Homo-oligomer: A and B are copies of this chain.
Amino acid sequence: MRASAYPLIDAAEASALVLERTPVLGVERVALADANGRVLAEDVVATGPLPAFPSSAVDGYAIRFADAGTTLRVLGESAAGRPFDGSVTEGTAARILTGGAVPDGADTVVMVEDTRLDGNRVKVPTDLVAGSNFHRVGADVTAGETVLRAGTQLGAAEIGIAAATGHAQLAVCRRPRVALMSTGDELVEVGKTPGPGQIPDSNRWALLAALREAGADVEVMGIAPDEAEALRSFVTLALRNADVLVTSGGVSVGTHDLVKPLLESIGTVHIGRVKLKPGKPFTFATLEGGKVAFGLPGFPVSSLVTFEVFVRPALRKMQGFAQLQRPTLPVRLGYDARPTAERTEYQRVTLRREGRELVAETTGSQSSSRLLSLAGAHALVQVPAGDMTLKAGTIVEAMILGLP
């Protein structure tokens, strides 16, 4: 047993290094039903205008503006999908329903509420606005217009636009395939009764949720064996189909910590220790074939905080996201945030509104084993290394996990 040989790297430097070494994945085509949350790999261009035809915004009558204030003969009906195939001429009108095509000859639609029908003759008011109550060809989108740009994250509206412009499939960045495993002799499957010195393997389920939330396609590999050769076989198998390896535990300096030596032997370990609290033993390696490996610490809070700081941005880079980091907002500290001498600390806070401000309160003991410090947390507050307490009342930029 010895002190770690890995240099302690500054947290911001480590973050930049991880992103620099993480590749963007390839492109695939997906159906609209599978496009939610994905990132466009190519611009989406409208081949024709939207609307493609002049389309009524209301139920009423399609008329000539010149016929305002007169009584018109109703020639027929234009319903959505069932256009009227004649023309509206002087002294005539066509009944029109919302979404129906405005017939040739008509230049105005009058709402049914503003008319009086008698047999097949309709009285229209005098105070009309020419060209009103219908959507003109190309009013929303012109032919050839780029409606969505590569790099856009697809949500409901974006998928709707792609559909409306006739795209049944979209080119998106591939999702990272992640092999997830826990390491450590002390772990038992959740639900089994732990023996002396044993604990349930909770990190795997927490990380599974975090990985999926970040867009990863996860293969859950179980608890890795705690013996060098068996671990090597286990990891080799896991990496056959994965872009990313995520382990938790086994990256500290003890004699039974096997992850770092294994990563050294199958790739290059760029980061072995970080000036970060919690999360000092965080490990990052690049492997053959553009794959990357994240060795997360075994303490539950450390594994999730290093996930937030390093893994999530990397997974987002792989998927082509423009914004890799969590959004930040200014918050007023409701407590004294005490720093750690040599390490950047990410303190977990809840947020509440006070007037126009968000006020951050600590979630209590910030021990790296105490997951309750992260449960219900709305944000992470970065406290710089040093000896300067961020006093209650200070405004800081908080990493927003969720709004209250």
Contacts and interface: CB of A to CB of B under 8 A. Distances in A.
Copies of this chain: 2
Interface stretch (A10-18, A93-101, A265-273, A282-290): A93-101
A195 to B, nearest CB: 8
A187 interface: yes
Interface in A145-162: 147-148, 152, 154-162
Size class of the contact patch on chain A: 35 or more
Main secondary structure of the interface of A (DSSP, over half): loop
A197 B101 contact: yes
A112 B80 contact: no
A376 interface: yes
A55 B197 CA distance: 8
A339 to B, nearest CB: 19
A304 interface: yes
Contact of A156 (B59, B77, B304): B304
Interface of A: 1-3, 32-33, 35-36, 50-53, 55, 57, 59, 77-83, 95, 97-101, 112-113, 117, 135, 139-141, 147-148, 152, 154-169, 184-187, 189-191, 194, 196-210, 212-213, 220, 226, 249, 252-257, 298-300, 304, 307, 327, 329-330, 356, 365, 367-372, 374-377, 395, 400, 403-404
10 smallest CB-CB distances across A and B, nearest first, come from A81-B186, A160-B206, A81-B185, A168-B191, A97-B254, A163-B202, A327-B403, A83-B197, A80-B186, A157-B374
